[in-house]
């Protein structure tokens, strides 16, 4: 995220119905590359590329655990992140605390997904 990035919401041009519930949808924003996910009717947004070595995290598989945890696994080296919190949640993550940057997603009156920095 750069200091020059706007703080007002960014219109993605996408609607929730266009999202695949099993994987991320890559979107370019004023704050960089992010991925949209839809989980139980809620749109979530986290950085598209992995903090480890920039793997295409948005191409990973989205899974929901019995405890409600929603995770995305990087297809390159299998680091696993909680999409809701951005925290790394695989076992090795106990030593490496890199997290995903997230954006807040809302739905505009016309159904378009809007993104903004988390407050």
Question: Which residues of this chain interact with ligand FES, rule CB under 6 A?
Answer: 50, 52-53, 55, 74, 76-77, 79
Measured from the CB atom, the residue of 38 and 48 that comes closer to ligand FES is 48
CB of 86 to ligand FES, least distance (A): 14
CB of 51 to ligand FES, least distance (A): 8
Measured from the CB atom, the residue of 11 and 77 that comes closer to ligand FES is 77
CA-based radius of gyration for the chain:
14
CB of 66 to ligand FES, least distance (A): 24
Measured from the CB atom, the residue of 46 and 113 that comes closer to ligand FES is 46
């Amino acid at each position: 995220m750069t200091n020059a990035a706007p703080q007002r919401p960014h219109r993605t041009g996408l609607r929730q119905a266009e999202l695949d519930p099993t994987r991320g949808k890559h979107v370019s924003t004023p704050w960089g590359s992010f991925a949209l996910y839809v989980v139980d009717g809620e749109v979530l947004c986290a950085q598209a590329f992995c903090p480890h070595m920039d793997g295409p995290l948005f191409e990973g598989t989205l899974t929901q655990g019995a405890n409600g945890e929603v995770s995305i696994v990087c297809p390159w080296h299998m680091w696993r992140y909680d999409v809701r919190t951005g925290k790394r949640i695989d076992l090795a993550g106990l030593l490496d605390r890199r997290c995903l940057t997230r954006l807040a997603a809302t739905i505009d009156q016309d159904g378009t997904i809007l993104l903004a920095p988390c407050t």
